[in-house]
């Protein structure tokens, strides 16, 4: 997790990226200022926990990343996979932003920023969970038999 790309990509709301985040000039209007600060600090702590191999931190970090994956799956990807007219409301809010996935029927994709975030978040979560389990195995193997 060194230099986690999720930490960097998570901050796309802080920089004017034009149609990617509907922000065209500084100062950027961030309607999720405080949650973004907390998430950014948590991501830095998670990256640090993996760097120093803190098993407790790795377990908590993996659990938080897994929670984030579950939330984004239910917010973005399951609705995109299911063709439901009620998905139009969220899409209408984000449709003026850059889209990288197609709309077909009532399959409304997440905006490009969330899609790219998730394309990096999902593998990062998988790698984190695997690293957490491997660190646990390594800790068990290093203990002398009783």
**Would you say residue 43 has pLDDT above 70?**
yes
Structure tokens at 124: 């990062």
**Would you say residue 115 has pLDDT above 80?**
yes
Q: pLDDT (tens digit, 9 = 90+) per residue, 66-112?
A: 999 999 898 888 888 887 777 777 777 677 777 778 887 778 788 77
Residue 23 pLDDT grade (very low, low, confident, very high; cuts 50, 70, 90)? low
pTM of the model: 0.75
Dist. CA 35–CA 41, nearest whole Å: 10
> What value does the mean pLDDT take over residues 2-27?
61
Nearest CA-CA partner of 9 in 72, 75, 80: 72
> What value does the mean pLDDT take over residues 13-39?
69
The pLDDT > 70 percentage for the chain reads 69
Q: Which residues, in sequence order, are CB contacts of 131 under 8 Å at separation 6+?
A: 1, 50, 58
Report domain extents, the chain.
Answer: 5-134
Nearest CA-CA partner of 49 in 64, 67, 38, 66: 64
**Would you say residue 7 has pLDDT above 70?**
no
Residue 77, pLDDT score? 86
């Amino acid at each position: 997790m060194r230099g986690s790309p999720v930490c960097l990509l998570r901050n796309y709301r802080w920089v004017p990226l034009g149609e990617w985040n509907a922000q065209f000039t500084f100062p950027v209007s961030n309607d999720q200022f405080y949650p973004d600060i907390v998430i950014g600090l948590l991501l830095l702590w998670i990256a640090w926990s993996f760097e120093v191999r803190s098993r407790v931190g790795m377990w908590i970090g993996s659990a938080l990343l897994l929670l984030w994956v579950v939330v984004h799956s239910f917010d973005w990807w399951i609705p995109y996979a299911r063709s439901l007219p009620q998905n139009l409301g969220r899409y209408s809010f984000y449709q003026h932003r850059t889209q990288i996935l197609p709309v077909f029927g009532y399959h409304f994709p997440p905006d490009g920023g969330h899609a790219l975030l998730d394309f990096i978040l999902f593998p990062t979560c998988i790698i984190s969970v695997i690293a957490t389990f491997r660190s646990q195995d390594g800790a068990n193997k290093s203990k002398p038999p009783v």
